[in-house]
Amino acid sequence: MSKPGKGIRNGLTNYGDPRFAAYLRRSFASSMGYSRTMLEKPVIGITWTASGFNNCHRNVPELVEAVKRGVLASGGLPLDFPVTSLGEVFLNPTSMVFRNLMAMDVEEMVRAQPMDAVVLVGGCDKTLPALVMGAASAGKPAIVLSTGPMMTSRYQGERLGACTDCRRFWGRYRAGELNDRQIDAVEGALATTAGTCAVMGTASSMAIMLEVMGLMLPGTAAIPAVHADRLRAAETTGVAAMGLVSSGTTIRETVTQASIDNALKTLLAIGGSTNAIIHLAAIAGRLGLKVDLQALNAMSDATPVLVDLKPTGDAYMEDFFYAGGVGALLKRLGDHLDLSARTVTGETLAELVPDDDAWVDDKIIRPTETPIRADGGLVALFGNLAPKGAILKRAAADERLFEKTGRAVVFEGLKDLSERIDDPDLEVTEDDILVLKNAGPKAAGMPEAGYLPIPAKLARKGVKDMLRISDARMSGTAYGTIVLHISPESAAGGPLALVRNGDLIRISVRERRLDLLVDEAELAKRDPTPAPPAETRGWLGLYNKHVLQAEDGCDLDFLVGESHQ
């Protein structure tokens, strides 16, 4: 446990003379206008994740100021510092390749700079896991503050929220149901406030899971970004960060295997994002813990979907907040969780469950007796096409496609997909299976390309869904019968690389199987299609050399395990 109140003297720069280092640091700190009295106080670091390329974090400056109020009121010195900002839709080739870069940035800056505890402010998809991964490895006391979800908007009287409705309307546009003028109007109404996506996408899933894991203050995950309660939560988080200076509680001491399992069961119950499995696996790996896909299936069989939010339901995150939020979910799901797991405040989850008379909106957070579905929203598949697993979000899929054998229509990579998917001469029917290769972590950074569009000629005939499989990811806001994260990926020599047009593929969700129905002798004759050449310089070169597969969270191999602290 760290000693309280090292403050500005924490981790002195090494000049070979500690007293000189402290003298010099105070001198330079004084140039920023701090008094000697302030420089004697405990230091609370606050991550600055905002940038001009990050709409989700537009409210971060205001949140940081509110955190500072709480720290100052509790006798500390708040110092914000910049870390990598991951604007989800603004990054090429995909934000996923920069999650680990941000995690490294956070780890090094938290460890290197003089702070007694850190408040991890962020919200968008890769940001929350990157912050937690980095802080877990840095080994200093930490607490999370999410930016919160957007509020919804309207289009011709219809309620809209990014980004499930983005995809729904774009699908209608591709099918010819909307014209250019109409889709332009929709575009202007989808995302109208600060915050993360308004549905149960990756950002919302991660925030809820982190609250259940005890890494943020109870009741704070679902507060809308523009709600005054979000600022009050930030102030209270600053107060709580000062409490960590005394307790010295780190992420490693808070998060246990029970915490990881609680997060998985929560993810299943909220019908959450497939991406969250990868991020949780990466966080677990930093702590010497594990996300086991076989165990996930057992949990999924026993955990009902209780939350009625898009993309698996009808409501939005603001509805979840007003329905009672994570506290109400704990009340409903409590028997499925290990409520003895501890939180960053030192309380157990059991202490955070609302009283029996607390109101819960049954339409949004269902009782276990009347769930959205009796089993969990996610399931892992195995078989000769996915020896180390693949993921299906069955809560957002068409159950008529769960037991199926179909003909493969293969795309060798993202370029091939974009060039041929709408080709009127593409040989494809709605009974076929669309297969995308070379979109995994090594080949392409694992973009959200698993949501393969329905070929235009089928979409115009009214086809809304068909089975699609790949080694890519998909957005947590997406829906459809889509098998993702096939591991090993094509570029790592996985069996997916051997699939050819016309091959038969069988899926059985009941049996948890995904198989290529081609005999071994024929497969032995095939050479895998070469993956596109990987980048060798800079960050992408380091990433390509060291990135792990999906079941290990796509972290870098040299960052897994014990911290450097």
Residue 418: CATH number of its domain: 3.50.30.80
Q: Do 457 and 333 reside in the same domain of the chain? A: no
User: Which has the closest alpha carbon to 149: 207, 89, 189?
Assistant: 207
- The answer for residues whose C-beta is within 8 angstroms of residue 71's C-beta and 6 or more apart is 44, 46, 77, 78, 238, 239, 241, 242
301-354, pLDDT tens digit by residue? 999 999 999 998 899 999 999 999 999 999 999 999 999 999 999 999 999 999
Residue 165 lies in a domain: yes
Please choose, from the candidates 112, 107, 115, the residue with its C-alpha nearest in 3D space to the C-alpha of residue 252. 107
Which CATH number goes with the domain that contains 296? 3.40.50.2300
Residues 234, 220 contacting (CB under 8 angstroms) = no
State whether residue 556 is helix, strand or coil. strand
Q: Clarify whether residues 131 and 161 are in a common domain.
A: no
What pLDDT, in 10s, does the model give residues 495-533? Answer: 999 999 999 999 999 999 999 999 999 999 998 877 766
Same domain, 456 and 337: no
Range of the domain at 466: 379-532
Q: What is the pLDDT of residue 440?
A: 96
Question: Do 66 and 177 lie in a common domain?
Answer: no
Q: What is the pLDDT of residue 528?
A: 83
Question: Within 10 Å of residue 437's Cβ, how many Cβ atoms?
Answer: 30
pLDDT classification of 5: cutoffs 50, 70, 90: low
Two tokens at 188?
Answer: 């202007």
**166, 269: one domain:** no
Reported as a pLDDT band with limits 50, 70 and 90, residue 563 is low
Spell out the residues 6+ positions from residue 521 whose beta carbon is closer than 8 angstroms to its own.
none
Same domain? For 77 and 48 the reply is yes
79 and 203 both lie in a single domain: yes
Token pair recorded at residue 500: 């050819």
Distance CA 37, CA 31 (A): 14
φ and ψ at residue 30, rounded to 5 degrees? -65, -30
Q: Is the pLDDT of residue 1 over 70?
A: no
If you average pLDDT over residues 448-456, what whole number do you get?
95
Question: 97 and 225 share a domain?
Answer: yes
pLDDT for 489: 97
Average pLDDT over residues 9-32: 94
Distance separating alpha carbons of residues 58 and 55, to the nearest angstrom: 5
Query: Strand, coil or helix: what is 323?
Result: helix
Strands 433-436 and 142-146: unpaired
**Does residue 552 lie within any of the structural domains?**
no
Mean pLDDT of 427-449: 96
Q: Are residues 171 and 230 in the same domain?
A: no
- 77-130: pLDDT as tens digits: 999 999 999 999 999 999 999 999 999 999 999 999 999 999 999 999 999 999
User: From residue 118, how far is each of 68, 248, 249, 483 by CA, in Å?
Assistant: 12, 11, 11, 38
Q: How many helices (H) and strands (E) does the chain have?
A: 20, 14
Residue 4 has pLDDT above 60, yes or no: no
Report, as an integer, the average pLDDT of 151-170: 92
Contact 97/120 with Cβ under 8 angstroms? no
Whether 360 maps to a domain, the answer reads: no
Place of tokens 């799901």: 333
For residues 293 and 213, state if they share a domain.
Answer: yes
Higher pLDDT pick, 5 / 281: 281
Task: Report the number of distinct structural domains present in the chain.
Answer: 3
293-308 exposure pattern, b = at least 16 Cβ within 10 A, e = fewer: beebbebbeebbbbbb
pLDDT at 476: 86
Establish if 334 belongs to a structural domain: yes
Write down the pLDDT at residue 305.
96
Domain assignment present for residue 32? The answer is no
Whether 302 and 390 map to the same domain: the answer is no
Q: Is the pLDDT of residue 564 over 60?
A: no
Q: Has residue 175 got a pLDDT over 50? A: yes
Length of the chain: 565
Alpha helices in 324-412 (DSSP H): 325-333
Task: Report the alpha-carbon distance of residue 387 to residue 27 in Å, rounded.
Answer: 59
Please, are residues 286 and 560 in contact by the beta-carbon 8 Å criterion?
yes
H, E, C per residue of 90-148: HCCCCCHHHHHHHHHHHHHHHHHCCCCEEEEEECCCCHHHHHHHHHHHHCCCEEEEECC
pTM for the model stands at: 0.96
Does a structural domain hold residue 214? yes
Q: Same structural domain for residues 308 and 393?
A: no
The reply to whether 556 falls in a domain is no
Task: Check: CB of residue 111 under 8 Å from CB of residue 233.
Answer: no
Does residue 565 fall inside a structural domain?
Answer: no
**Percentages (nearest 5) of helix, strand, coil residues in the chain:** 40, 15, 45
